[in-house]
Structure 1
Amino acid sequence: MPTITDTITTSDGTCQVTLATPDGDGPWPGIVMYPDAGSRRPVFDEMAQKLADYGYAVLVPDVYYRHGEYAPFDLNTAFSDPDERNRVMSMMGSVTPDKMADDAAAFFDYLESRPEVTGSTFGTTGYCMGGRTSLIVAGRVPDRVAAAMSFHGGGLAADDPGSPHLLADQISAAVYVAGAENDGSFTPEQAETLEKALTAANVEHTIETYPAAHGFAVSDHAAVYDADAAQRHWDAMERFFGAELG
């Protein structure tokens, strides 16, 4: 089935989303794929379709919808151009944990209402800021999340009251985290902090570090994309969601 574009009404407005499904007859388990700091764009529609082809209905939201119409980001230059860096950092900061949770509830309601989707619990996955969102949603909306993944996510165990590791005792989902090497946003020390928090909370989890740079899984971020690490992440998603949602 082709990817469709739709809108979801949230408590703050109207969020544009895409929904990708496999060919054939459903329904399928639902997954929300949270994009990186560049938000929803063609590469994430392609990635959602690839994940959908494993047997899922995959929703990708525009996490910056509260800003109305905005110029798209090019992550190859967004953090090196001072004006673009200020813009992207400001928009990233506007997506607070409260807003993540409110939006997620609307996304899950939407998935549950779709004939293509089965069940009332879902998977989440995300990249960079989306990886953090995936874990925050697992802790803030725990009754709706069965499996949560994070790829090169930052701020997962930060000195911040909104850090996902502080929600460990509220998470009921299985968790998979793949960090990047030499990533200041998720250091070995932060990985250890997250590991201890999830273990203490008896959360089923895996935390790995891939031998690749931050951003390794997203192909339009050419400077850091790593084909081997990206394939490893696809294999991990197929295995993890197959076990937890299949």
Structure 2
Amino acid sequence: MPTHTLQIPTPDGLADAFAAFPDHGERHPGVLMYPDGLGIRPVIREMARELAGHGYYVLVPNLFYRHGPAPVIELPEHIGAETRPRVFAQVMPLIGAHTAERALIDADAYLGFLTSRPEVSAGPVAVTGYCIGGLLAMRTAAAHSDRVASVAAFHAPVSADGPDLFAKITAAVHLGHAEGDMTPEALGELNQVLQVMDTAGTAYTSEIYPGTIHGFTMSDTDAFSASGLQRHWDRLLPLLDPTLGNN
């Protein structure tokens, strides 16, 4: 499967990115994949290749390109209890500096680049994201309702922007919450807010993944759950396939 390291022009410079797509000599629906705060690394590349294998062109940008190319910080092969404090002491300032304004500037650049690729078919795209990347995915879908047909967010702080965010989204939505992040009561409150999508006729699902903690999709961390990752694929692919016409 072809993979590329690319440079995406943005108003603030060049964002390095990873792309994976099937080697069929055809055009494929585009998916913008936002990584978690730990950025582009082997596990993210593996997930992009897995998704690309289902018939998609998958573009993964370096969220923190303003601070340097990926990897912006040095990461161990496995992020466990001993290394987590050091890693997150470096990551959190990067997340804090990535303001909503910067995120929207970048989203416009990423979508423009994705849809201009010769390997990407015409039509709408999908956006998916993990942790902070899930919030960025939702912001992208809200800001570009004319270009985004479906959006998914996993173990993500999707409530951070309040109900106004959900009111702007017209794409089909799936939210996969970690059991360690979301109590049933909190899920009920979130789903009450999500009912604004019912009024707009927007399809959505929002559920807690049993037995999972924050970061469950990432196999290079102690949070990893094999069943949680599989459930993620079982929800993501049926969301993307019909909305992007990849049946």
Q: What residue in structure 2 maps to residue 237 of structure 1?
A: 236
* Identical aligned residues as a percent: 39
Which amino acid in structure 1 is aligned with residue 41 of structure 2?
R
The Cα of 1:83 is off from its aligned counterpart by 4.6
- Looking at structure 2, the residues matched to 219 and 7 of structure 1 have their Cα atoms a distance apart, in angstroms, of 27
- Looking at structure 1, the residues matched to 81 and 104 of structure 2 have their Cα atoms a distance apart, in angstroms, of 27
What's the secondary structure of 2:121's corresponding residue? strand
Deviates further, 200-209 or 64-73: 64-73
Q: Is the 8 A contact 1:30 1:122 kept in 2?
A: yes
Q: Is the 8 A contact 1:157 1:194 kept in 2?
A: yes
Q: Is the 8 A contact 1:138 1:173 kept in 2?
A: yes
The Cα of 1:243 is off from its aligned counterpart by 1.9
Structure 1 unmatched ranges of 5 or more: none
- Looking at structure 1, the residues matched to 188 and 99 of structure 2 have their Cα atoms a distance apart, in angstroms, of 24
- Looking at structure 1, the residues matched to 56 and 123 of structure 2 have their Cα atoms a distance apart, in angstroms, of 14
- Looking at structure 1, the residues matched to 120 and 88 of structure 2 have their Cα atoms a distance apart, in angstroms, of 38
The Cα of 1:72 is off from its aligned counterpart by 2.8
Which amino acid in structure 2 is aligned with residue 142 of structure 1?
S
- Looking at structure 2, the residues matched to 43 and 81 of structure 1 have their Cα atoms a distance apart, in angstroms, of 17
TM-aligned CA distance change 1:164 to 1:97, over 3 Å: farther
Deviations 1:47-92, CA, capped at 9 Å, x for gaps:
1010001110000010010112532334725896555333211111
Q: What do you get for the CA RMSD once the two structures are aligned?
A: 2.0
Q: Is the 8 A contact 2:127 2:150 kept in 1?
A: yes
TM-score by length of 2: 0.89
TM-aligned CA distance change 1:68 to 1:234, over 3 Å: same
Deviations 1:188-232, CA, capped at 9 Å, x for gaps:
4443343223222333100011011111111111x1111111111
TM-aligned CA distance change 1:189 to 1:130, over 3 Å: farther
Runs of 4+ with deviation above 6 angstroms: none
Structure 2 unmatched ranges of 5 or more: none
Which amino acid in structure 2 is aligned with residue 46 of structure 1?
E
Matched pairs, number: 238
Q: What residue in structure 2 maps to residue 124 of structure 1?
A: 127
Deviations 1:85-128, CA, capped at 9 Å, x for gaps:
33211111112222222111111111111111012421011111
TM-aligned CA distance change 1:156 to 1:107, over 3 Å: same
Which amino acid in structure 1 is aligned with residue 79 of structure 2?
N
Deviations 1:142-161, CA, capped at 9 Å, x for gaps:
222110001111x2114xxx
- Which residue of 155, 159, 175 maps to 1:157? 159
- Looking at structure 2, the residues matched to 96 and 79 of structure 1 have their Cα atoms a distance apart, in angstroms, of 29
The Cα of 1:181 is off from its aligned counterpart by 0.7
